[in-house]
A and B are shown apart, each in its own frame.
Chain A
């Protein structure tokens, strides 16, 4: 009798072993042009797991990282297929770039795997798989809100838009302009810069010639915001006469450091900044600094909240990882994040969050984004419009 019990006791852990790990396939652009964004996302994931442990609902979380290398949907799709078929992951997460997210959505839909978009910000991504949620931001969410705010609360009547000539740039331009015009403003002109453009002097000069009341800028992070800031200072754009409005990437930490005093008084709308003043954020930043030696940014918070969503969903499903159970549990999920209150919209599965309006000011020795206005619980307007079209 004892022998049977002993044998059973030995066999049991082995049998259960197979189900004790939850595998998450994380696809990021760890090499190439977007490596820094991906590194920050990965740092966010690591920080969350350090703070909250690597066990949820009695199971261990294992992260399998894959590098997509850049905007390469064929590679992203293949890697996702391999993760599902070979590594047998339970869910897919990450996605620095839109084309990669779109390609992997097909795999998520076909294989019925839960998918968490932690960065890619194009609105339509969310519609490509019924098992997907997003924890980052969408461009219309921030930019349309900004456009409305600019024309109403800030009382601006004119605007000249300057965006980078690629998908997100076009989206941001469209979102801002449509909302600005709808609220009574007028777009006096627009220009688009080529993607890897190193020198903005010519474009800034064009803007200056028109002397608009305000300028709206959308450029990706990296070297460009600093170059643009310098160009504006060189050309002598007076920020008192011409208000500069931008996206959060324009005044990211590295950009502010490089722009120095050229950044003063730039007004931006965004969903996160490492200087946010709440207890959760202070703890997050402290742990992040200790682990990675730098400050988090919106890439990090998207990944951080993504992990949180995964953990909370798993707690609700008690460890069940099939797509149907996960998405049912994830819809309507609400929590308090370092960026403020967050919710996963129960109908669109997209992120609902507060949008902050900030101004660059000198605090101590640094230039930081200081929030002075907030629009709470913003849903993705493009998603709302899609809902209405269906009705």
Chain B
């Protein structure tokens, strides 16, 4: 089943070659949603400011290519690392809180970073976006107009990091996380120090988010304030809930459904496509509780 899924992701190269840029952006969004799933679906940390790490990775990669060198892979690694560092630092604050306070804190920190980026327009280019981002070819392949290199790159990184995430989830560390999510007070009693675990997963999620951000910068040669925006954090949350949180594939499925729907609706009705997205979301909640994957698994259980 899973192998079939990953083979299917190669289909766009052959079946829909003119949609590769969209496919690339879907892969990037899926990666971002995956990183959110690690903290939300598995560790129970609801964040409305996760785009902070996405954007931090994006700007790092952009600034590197503008001022130093445009080699994509090093930019990717450095972007992810920078975001991870930010994640590590903020995790000390974040993990102490729960419920609404946690949500609002993540929101607040995300908004603060976005404001800072806007003010520091000498560095970030402000609302106009960063100018002069030029990418060197990736392993000899130029980033072309059709988006072939872009999609291959994004897909490869998504696959790799997905494997990493899956390893983490199935490890003892991952089980401990799920235990924390279920009952935060009991875990220390079994000997699993919960705050340290949460900080660790938060940092890992930040690294992955940063990688996604760097990918976006590199595949589109643009970065603007939008990568740090509340809108991007909120989109990731919606996508994850849509697909089903805590199921590893939820973010990916959600990203595919949401972004394809958005692209199609906005093509059909450029001014009011919002409406149809809203209807889609309401319908999914009413008929598929716990997201698409949750609803599907519930359906599969019914015959028994």
Real binding pair: yes
Q: Which residues of A contact B (CB under 8 A)?
A: 28, 30-31, 35, 39, 65-67, 69-75, 77-78, 81-82, 84-86, 98-99, 102-103, 106-107, 110-111, 122, 124, 165-168, 170, 194-195
CB closest residue in chain B, given A35: B271
- Given known pairs A78-B22, A167-B126, A167-B128, the reply for A85 and B145 (CB within 8 Å) is yes
Could you write out 19 A-B pairs with CB less than 8 Å apart?
A31-B270, A71-B129, A71-B226, A73-B129, A73-B222, A74-B216, A77-B21, A78-B22, A81-B145, A84-B145, A85-B18, A99-B128, A103-B129, A110-B145, A166-B118, A167-B121, A167-B128, A170-B121, A170-B126
Q: Are A103 and B126 in contact (CB under 8 A)?
A: no
Q: Count B interface residues, CB 8 Å.
A: 33
- Given known pairs A85-B18, A111-B145, the reply for A168 and B224 (CB within 8 Å) is no
Task: Map CB proximity to A onto B5-29 as digits: 1 under 8 Å, 0 otherwise.
Answer: 0000000000000110110010000
> How distant is B231 from chain A, measured CB to nearest CB, in Å?
8
Q: Are B145 and A122 in contact (CB under 8 A)?
A: no
Question: CA of A84 to CA of B225 in the docked complex: distance in angstroms?
Answer: 26
Binding site secondary structure of chain A: helix
B291: Cβ under 8 A from any A Cβ: no
CB neighbours of A107 from chain B (8 A): 145
Binding site secondary structure of chain B: helix
- Given known pairs A71-B127, A82-B22, A98-B127, the reply for A165 and B267 (CB within 8 Å) is no
> How distant is A293 from chain B, measured CB to nearest CB, in Å?
16
Question: CA of A70 to CA of B274 in the docked complex: distance in angstroms?
Answer: 13
CB neighbours of B271 from chain A (8 A): 30-31, 35, 39, 67
> How distant is B274 from chain A, measured CB to nearest CB, in Å?
6
Question: CA of A166 to CA of B119 in the docked complex: distance in angstroms?
Answer: 8
CB closest residue in chain B, given A65: B270
Given A31-B271, A99-B222, A106-B221, 17 additional A-B pairs, CB 8 A: A30-B270, A30-B271, A31-B272, A35-B271, A66-B267, A73-B226, A74-B25, A74-B222, A75-B25, A81-B147, A82-B22, A85-B145, A99-B129, A102-B222, A103-B222, A110-B145, A165-B119
CB closest residue in chain A, given B223: A73
CB neighbours of B267 from chain A (8 A): 66
B74: Cβ under 8 A from any A Cβ: no
Q: Are A72 and B145 in contact (CB under 8 A)?
A: no
Question: CA of A28 to CA of B271 in the docked complex: distance in angstroms?
Answer: 10
B90: Cβ under 8 A from any A Cβ: no
Q: Are B128 and A102 in contact (CB under 8 A)?
A: yes
Question: CA of A270 to CA of B131 in the docked complex: distance in angstroms?
Answer: 28
Question: CA of A85 to CA of B225 in the docked complex: distance in angstroms?
Answer: 27
Question: CA of A78 to CA of B143 in the docked complex: distance in angstroms?
Answer: 13
CB neighbours of A82 from chain B (8 A): 18-19, 21-22
> How distant is A233 from chain B, measured CB to nearest CB, in Å?
29
Q: Are A31 and B21 in contact (CB under 8 A)?
A: no
**Chain A to chain B: the 7 pairs with minimum beta-carbon distance, closest first:** A86-B18, A67-B270, A167-B127, A73-B222, A99-B129, A166-B127, A78-B21
CB closest residue in chain A, given B216: A74
Question: CA of A65 to CA of B271 in the docked complex: distance in angstroms?
Answer: 10
